[in-house]
Amino acid sequence: MTAIALPNFLIISTMLVGMVNLITPFFTKNDSQIRNFFLFSVSGFFLINILIIDYLFINGTEIRFTLLNLSKYSISFAVEPIGLIFLTMLAFLWIPALLYTVKFLSINGLVRSNRYLFFVNSCVLVGCLIALSANLITMFIWYEILTLCTIPLIVHDVNGKSINGLIKYLKILLISSLVLFLPAIIIIYTQIGTGTFVKGGFISAYFSDKAAILLLLAFIFGISKAALYPLHSWLPAAMVASYPVSALLHAVVVVKTGLFCIFKILLYVFGLEYLQYLFGNYNWLIIFPIITILYSSLQALRYYEIKTILAYSTINQLSIALMSAFLLTPKGLAAAVMHMVSHALTKICLFYSVGGFYSMNNIYKINELMNMKKLAPKVSFVFLISSLSLIGIPPLAGFISKFYIMMAAAESDNFLVMIVLGISVLFSALYLSKMLSFIYSTEDTVKTAIQIQNNDEINDNGEAKKNTKKLHWYILLSLYLCLTGVIGFFVVQQFVNVLLTFI
Amino acid sequence: MILIKHIPVLQVLIPLFAALFSALTFNKLASWLIAVIATTLSVLVAFVALYNFTEPIFYAFGNWQAPIGIEYRLDLLNQPIILYVNAVLLFFLIFGKQLINKTITKYIDSRKHHMFYSLLLFAHAGYVGVLSTNDLFNIYVFIEISSLATYVLISKGKNPRALVGAFDYLMLGTIGATLILISVGFFFSVTGSLNIEDISAILEKTDLSDQPNSQLRIVVVAIAFFLSGAILKMAFFPLHFWMMRAYQGCAPFILTYLSAISSILGVYMIMRFVHFVIDEELAHIPISFLLKTIALVTIILCSYFALKAKNLKTIIIYSTSAQIGYIFLILSLWSSKALLFQLLILDSINKIGLFTLIAHIEHKSLDLNITSMKQIRNSNWFKVAAGFIIVFSAGLPLNGMFITKIALFDLLIKQGLIAEFVVVLLASVLGILYHLKFAKAIFFGKEENGILEINTNLAGLFAIITIHVLTLVYFSEITRIIGYYIGYRI
Amino acid sequence: MQNLIYFFAILVFSAGLFVMLTSDNYVRKIIGLGVLQSSVLIFYIALGKVSNGIVPIDIYGKNDANLQLFSSPLPHVLMLTAIVVGFSTMSVGLALIYQIYKEYNTIHEGEIAEKEISFHDIN
């Protein structure tokens, strides 16, 4: 095999192996050892392959191939730095996700687990395909398919609330991508004849300034998975899903896809220099994320359901990443990518730990979090560390990425960004410490907690065991894995930096 | 081989004789078998004709040459459509046997079940006749033959309202056909001939020099009568109201065959008329403006009505009308025929899929109203198939519909038609919304309305999905072939 | 003056159309259908008439003396077909009316519509 064919083959074979994970749930029994063994070994193998591809890329190999070709439009894949970062992140997070999901399903008695696992795995794989896409139309196709794959997961538990949430979710995502994202792509294709990503961007030669700005706005709002105000309401609506779904998809895969698409478009379709020229006088582009940050911070303080708070916090962090990217400098974009990775790790920890609380005690609101420290000390510890990371306390992940953003903002003398970043840190501290205070509550509230426990034991005899459910060690293992990511982010960011130098 | 010379007439005669034979066997299974054999033969014959195609075949009946005798013409405009129509009938017969037995023939007196297949074949012979003929009056005759059989086919179903709907269809269909007949009379009075090629030759000659004014006026009147008759008969918007009422009552499964064919037939008739009978230049400007306006209004209004509809069947019917609007839009652009045929074929495959879905549901419960629809439970394969078909029909990525939509946007932007582009975009949005409504009703019915299970044979649905996937995989091939054919013809 | 017959044909056409579209009774609609088709017959046959032309029957045999003008027989032939088509349409229509009568016990469109509404109210 020639030198070029081998890496192509590697990617294709990796994807095919990953697809084995799609089929195994259907042939094995619920929560059996065989199924778990297959799932973990395949995803572990997948991760190793991705690391090999990273290594090959760093040493200079080019990978690019085309699947289907229809005149101007073609489905083709290529490897490039940001995509690789996203891909590695997904591959790394797949293992703890599977660990957690498998046991969550069995503890909470969710039925049709094979269908559930199928769609979770397909979402991760589609996310990997998006990371590898080489032109605009490929990215769009897999973007839409990702939306479709999340549908059965949101309504896995069919009731009126989830159906309404699903309809709202679908309406916003599908319509915005159809009305804004797709026409922008088609206009580019008709005008230029190709949409392949090129280093340094290719739009400047073909469109006037005004048209380019309009296209940029269409892309930014059309990619509503990045949840800019006012197209953000799909995210709270999608929180009717169960915890593994909310965690993996709506905090990691789906929203990071949105961010990733915007980054790629900024970098490879428009090109940073052209953008700086367009927004030279006054960078009014950052106003959009800033509005979103302020809005979501205020909203997060309003609600009492845990998932809603976390949803708004996600919107907050996404807009922080977008704000950094919209600084339109290479450092700003690099900081945004770093934040993308760190937030993924942090949010997954948060969601998974709250999911652990839910499995033990069926918790929906903040005040039910009382006295969790006694019932689940390890999980509460994970929650503590990850919320500290989200706020931005050194030396955790959140601090490192926010530090990079501050540096990038300082370099371009953008005081507005620094101030808003500070405000957002303040607000996240507020709502997170509210939750923390409930968990680590003091003695006099313990009595009320015990009363609640006793009532439950008296009322439902059959479900008396609910309060004393133990979490399977898989769940704890997955939490610890993610936690190491958070704590050891310094190591992670070295790795990310290496790849970023290739831009 | 001798038979190859007679292919044009064979394509009409095989269904016709099969219809007679299956009317003579008083056994349901035997007549179904005869129908299947006849349709398979027709598919083979049509395929052979297409494969050996070199130049248009003219077949004069009884050796009376045109313009005195009646003549059939097979060229690249109608031969592929004939092949497709035969294939649709074959699909309908093979995969629909169980559904036909349960939803349609159950309501017919059991001694007369074989008549259903016989009528189906008569209708089919009529449709193929419309497609193959080169004589204007012959078009009218075959339209009436197929319509008569269709009126009866529509009239049987679970809901007795089907009879009233069929009667309405009879009334208005006959008015449409009569308008076409009057238009043929006008053409006859101007040119003295009934043969399409002869008429176009004569019209070309006299229009410019001899008697410009009066000739021109009669021809314009004739064109107007023909087009209004065709639009009324095929129920294109804005003359579609009778079709809503007629299709409401009838069994959904028969609509798989009928609606798939009637729209293709309508477009074929208009294209044949516009390209071959009258001079394109004459009709170009006023017709294209008229078509474009009708098309835009159709697209928006029908999508809006589909959104507001309360019944699943109504949603599909309005969605069909909206697709016809897209076809009119492309027709009025005059430049991209390949896209037109792609859209037609994909649209009719979609409709077959959707109507089959509804037929499965209707078999169990009469009520297709969205708010009071029963919940579907435990029919997992049905749900999977339904999911696929709805996704394919909505134009979401990775299927032929999506690619066609992109090509349509492409075309509109290239020609700089911004208003049309916005309209089509809006209609796509409405399309997604009513598909969501459809999906919600199928997947998430309310439990208090009752429960039903779908346990009929689902082979047909999976065949449709396979066809969709095949059209996607071979899309570039199909485009190339169609483009080659269209370029060849015009 | 020669075109008066065409006005007459249009008159009959409108009359038939009016009866078809506005009557409540189904049998009357079929009658209107028949009238509509008769108007087309008038139209075509009038097209075929040539002034000073005689009936198109070959009275010469092999003899070519004194050629006369014939009216065109073609519209008559076409209209034979149209009459047959009209007749079969009317018979299908009547059969449908019979089935409707068996089902609803009435052939008035208004009454059937009311029965339909009550059918839906009950279900």
* CATH code for residues C4-122: 1.10.287.3510
* Residue (of A97, A102, A88, A104) closest to A46 by Cα position: A88
Residue B251 identity? A
Start-to-end CA span in chain C (Å)? 62
A186: nearest CA partner in chain B: B410
Identity of the amino acid at A171: K
What DSSP line would sit under A55-116, residue for residue?
HHHHTT---EEEEEEETTEEEEEE--HHHHHHHHHHHHHHHHHHHHHHHHHHHTT-S-HHHH
Average pLDDT, chain A: 78
The residues with which B60 forms a beta bridge, in sequence order, are B71
**Is B152's CB within 8 Å of C104's CB?**
no
Helix (H, G, I), strand (E, B) or coil at C85: helix
Q: Which of A141, A170, A171 sits opposite B398 (nearest CB)?
A: A141
pTM of the model: 0.83
Residues of chain B with Cβ-Cβ distance to A175 below 8 Å are: 429, 432-433
CA–CA gap between residue B195 and residue B276 (Å, rounded): 11
Residue B486 has pLDDT above 70, yes or no: no
Q: Where are the alpha helices (DSSP H) in B275-399?
A: 280-308, 312-333, 337-364, 380-394
**Radius of gyration from C-alpha coordinates of chain B:** 22
Judged by 3 or more CB pairs under 8 A, whether B touches C is yes
**Residue A244 contacts residue A97 (beta carbons within 8 Å):** yes
Q: Do B359 and B247 form a contact (C-beta atoms < 8 A)?
A: no
Chain B residue closest in CA terms to C94? B167
CB B237 within 8 A of CB B186: no
Closest-CA residue of chain B to C10: B182
Q: Are A136 and A195 in contact (CB under 8 A)?
A: yes
- Give B467→chain A minimum CA distance, Å: 18
Q: What is residue C89's predicted lDDT score, i.e. its pLDDT?
A: 95
Of how many residues is chain C composed?
Answer: 123
State whether residue A158 sits within 8 Å of chain B by CB. Answer: yes
Q: Is the pLDDT of residue B213 over 70?
A: no
C-alpha–C-alpha distance, residues B127 and B139, integer Å? 10
Contact B98, B457 (CB under 8 A): yes
CB contact under 8 Å between B425 and A183, yes or no, is: yes
Residue A460 — very low, low, confident or very high, per pLDDT cuts 50/70/90? very low
Which has the minimum average pLDDT: A138-147, A180-189, B446-455?
Answer: B446-455
Q: What is the ipTM of this complex?
A: 0.91
Contact B425 A189 (CB under 8 A): no
List the alpha helices (DSSP H) in A110-159.
113-132, 136-154
Bridge partners, residue A75, by sequence = A68
Amino acid letter at B300? I
Tell me if chain B has a CB within 8 Å of the CB of A170. Answer: yes
Q: Is the pLDDT of residue A462 over 50?
A: no
Residue A176, classed as helix, strand or coil, is: helix
Is A32 in the B-facing interface, judged by CB distances under 8 Å?
Answer: no
Parallel, antiparallel, or unpaired for β A73-78 and A64-70? antiparallel
Chain B residues close to A167, C-beta within 8 Å: 436, 440
Q: Measured between beta carbons, which residues in chain C are less than 8 angstroms from residue B160?
A: 103-104
Least confident of A385-394, A477-486, B244-253, B388-397: A477-486
How many CA atoms does the CB half-sphere of B133 hold within 13 Å? 23
Q: How many CB atoms are located within 10 Å of the residue B398 CB?
A: 18
Residue type, B481: I
Residue A461's pLDDT band (cuts 50, 70, 90): very low
The minimal CB distance from C40 to the residues B141, B178, B366 is found for B178
> Is pLDDT above 90 for B182?
yes
* A167 in contact with chain B, both atoms CB, cutoff 8 A: yes
User: Are B410 and A170 in contact (CB < 8 Å)?
Assistant: no
The per-residue pLDDT string of chain C (123 residues; one tens digit each, 9 = 90 and over) reads: 778 999 999 999 999 999 998 998 999 999 999 999 999 999 999 988 888 888 888 777 666 666 778 888 889 999 999 999 999 999 999 999 999 998 888 888 888 888 777 655 544
Percent of all residues in chain B with a pLDDT value above 70, rounded to a whole number: 84
Tell me how crowded residue A239 is: count the other CB atoms within 10 A of its CB.
22
The percent of residues above 90 in pLDDT, for chain B, comes to 14
Helix B459-473 vs helix B400-414: angle between axes, to the nearest 10 degrees? 40
b/e code A393-411 from CB counts within 10 Å (16+ = b): eeebbbbbbbebbbebbee
From A74, C81, A209, select the one nearest B403 (Cα to Cα). Answer: A74
Do the Cβ atoms of B366 and C123 come within 8 Å?
yes
Instruction: Assess B108–C contact: CB distance below 8 Å, yes or no.
Output: no
- Asked if C53 and C37 count as a contact pair (C-beta separation under 8 A), the reply is no
B/C interface, count of CB pairs below 8 Å: 67
Whether there are 3 or more C-beta pairs closer than 8 Å between C and A is no
B400-434 CB burial, b ≥16 within 10 A, e <16:
bbbbbbbbbbbbbbeeebeebbebbbebbbbbbbb
Question: Which pLDDT does position B283 carry in this prediction?
Answer: 55
Residue B329 near residue B295 (C-beta atoms within 8 A): yes
Assess contact for C12 and C35: CB atoms under 8 A: yes
Environment class of A190 (CB within 10 Å of its CB; exposed 0-12, middle 13-18, buried 19+): middle
Identify whether the C-beta of residue A253 lies closer than 8 Å to the C-beta of residue A183: no
